[in-house]
Structure 1
Amino acid sequence: MRAALDVLSLRGRAHPMATVTAWSFPADSANAYTMLSCHGLEAWGDTPGAVAVQLWPSRVNIARLPLVTIRALALGYRSAVTGPILSPDFAEHLLREGLASNLVCEFHAGPGAPWAIPFTRPSDWHDTLSSIADASGFQSYANLPVNVYGVTAPAGADHLPDPPMVNAERMALIHARCLEARGTVDPVEIAGLLYGDEPLAMNGHPVLGLPFASGFAVAHNVVSAGIRRLGCTIAEAFHLPTDELVGT
């Protein structure tokens, strides 16, 4: 995180977060959502100056931990710049996520899109779940008793997909759909625009016809284009008004 804060430093301007406190917790192998949809790694950083991580320490999770943590740090950093926003609109969500993934770009030299790292199934995750099941005396993780909103039930195999490859024509339509909705403050609509149909369906909401996590790709592209258009650095971009990077 220190390296990320160094990237965000601006000459003559103090950081909006004087300190950052990080907490790391072991992931609960009996939490089906954490293990199946989050692949054993979650990070939260929306509160300025605080980052919390929940980790199942598989080989790939340990490798991607710094990048997922930097994303969380970036969300809190932007919140520190803006101050509390009671009902941030979708444009602000686009900006925060786009800033976060562009900051991750500064440290990501491997394959795959930087915005997709938190949502992509690790290559060793099938073997990791199998080893958990074996240690627990079950044939597969799907049979493992887990906590589902306070009810014990077999884990099953339902999980969110990897972010799909989307061709340029469809991506342009998704981009336009997201920008048309940038003024919305409805949390369900914002969730659908960012995360796509699968999470909405899993929680019983009508879907919007969008691929999983496609809003994060839009956020990355919008902010990347804004940074190029304005000729600013990623550090400067964190301090810009939303409409300068996302439009009105």
Structure 2
Amino acid sequence: MITVLDTYPDIRRILRAPLAERTELLRAMLEPVTDMYRYFPGEVDLVAMHQMASGFPLDRDEQRCLDALETLAQADAWSRIQRALEDALTAQLAATPDIQVPDITVLFVLGDPGDAHFMGPCLGMTANGSMPGFIVITLWPFAENVERLEATAVHELNHNLRYSPGGVVWNPMTVTVGEHVVSEGLADAFARQLYGDELGYARIGVPALRDDAVFAKVLTGLDITGMQNFTAWVHGDASAERYGATPVGLPTGAGYAAGNRLVDAYLAATGRTAAQALHADSAEIIATALRK
């Protein structure tokens, strides 16, 4: 079962509440996704994680956020995400009927308009679907983001199903940049399978999509292990600097762009669809894509 939490009334209530009450109201709203952090060492502060992920602020920009929240409500955002995920799961099960599908809880929250990195390089959207059973989408309602709500949700569903029990194992210590890059390409390919190229590409990867120099640079990092090293290679230098990682000379979304190129070459060579390739081995995808 897929449950998209109805965060609209909660966010509105938080933004209208006295400042002293907002933190605990936010904590209560986030409680349903506590288990998303079950593998983290120690107790996780849900409010701190919300802030780290560029979630809406608690102490400023109230009216701007309330107006943005109404834009999402008028766009029927929550229902659109629910329908898109259900339709995508149907399409995925048609291609891979034997996969294990967890119950999935989806947290959709408004982003922080005062976060320059979120609003700039990230184009007003961050998301995480890699923890089986949970999807979190943080979004500012730029028109392009609202238009791509369904594709964004489906992209994250692909991650969730790839790493669910019976699928690909993500070991934080041994996983490679190549796996992360391929996973972004597969997730985009699945979104494009359902919604076409105009909507299906993650926006941050589009500028570098046909940049051969960026592609070649990403290829040099595919064998790097340890997810603490991934930010620059996948999301780019701006995100690396934001989170205290070492830049490597790549633009925002470089890994997404490279992942799309690798996956498209693999799908073309094998005749498979993105849905059929859900659990394909990343090393096989890379080898097939680069085979001359």
CA contact (8 A) 1:90 1:190 kept: yes
- The DSSP-based 3-state class of the residue aligned with 1:235 is coil
In structure 2, relative to structure 1, the CA distance for the partners of 1:233 and 1:39 (3 Å cut) is closer
The one-letter code of the counterpart of 1:105 is R
Matches within 5 A, 1:124-203: 164=207, 171-187=211-227, 189-203=229-243
User: Is 2:86 the counterpart of 1:86?
Assistant: no
Q: Aligned in 2, Cα 1:33/1:229: closer, same or farther, shift over 3 Å?
A: same
Give 1:222's aligned residue: 262
Task: Give the TM-score normalised by structure 1.
Answer: 0.68
Contact 2:232 2:245 in 1 (8 A): no
Cα contact 2:208–2:253 (8 A) shared by 1? no
Unaligned runs of at least 5 residues, structure 2: 1-84
Q: Paired residue for 1:61?
A: 145
Which residue is 2:191 aligned to? 104
Query: Which amino acid in the other structure matches residue 240 of structure 2?
Result: L
Whether the 8 Å CA contact 1:115–1:217 is kept in 2: the answer is: no
Work out the CA distance in 1 between the residues paired with 2:212 and 2:114: 40
Superimposed CA distance per residue, residues 26-51 of structure 1 (whole angstroms, 9 cap, x where no aligned partner):
33445454444444433221111221
Q: Which has the higher contact order (CA 8 A, sep 6+)?
A: 1
- Rounded Cα–Cα distance in structure 2 between residues aligned with 1:212 and 1:12: 33
Q: Greater shift after overlay, 177-186 or 71-80?
A: 177-186
Supply the distance in 1 between the matched residues of 2:114 and 2:238 (Cα, whole angstroms): 22
**Cα contact 1:8–1:234 (8 A) shared by 2:** no
1:184, distance to aligned residue in structure 2 (A): 0.7
Q: 1:210/1:70 Cα in 2 relative to 1: closer, same or farther (>3 Å)?
A: same
Change (3 A) 1:103 1:205: same
CA distance in 2, matches of 1:242, 1:174: 19
In structure 1, what is the Cα distance between the partners aligned to 2:88 and 2:170?
22
Gaps of 5+ in 1: 121-162
SS across alignment from 2:195: coil
What one-letter code is carried by the residue in structure 2 that aligns with 1:101?
A: D
- The range that moved more, 56-65 or 1-10, is 56-65
Quick one: percent identity of the two aligned structures?
23
Contact (CA 8 Å) 1:70, 1:103: kept in 2 or not? yes
Amino acid at match of 1:85: N
> Aligned partners of 2:235 and 2:96: how far apart in 1?
38
- The offset of 1:5, in angstroms, is 1.4
Give, in whole Å, the separation in 2 of the partners of 1:205 and 1:19: 33
* TM-score with structure 2 setting the length: 0.59
Amino acid at match of 1:99: L
- Assess, with a 3 A threshold, how the Cα gap between structure 1 residues 14 and 34 changes in structure 2: closer, same or farther: same
CA RMSD, Structure 1 to Structure 2 (Å): 2.8
Matched residue SS, 2:150: helix
How far residue 67 of structure 1 moved from its aligned partner, in angstroms, is: 1.4
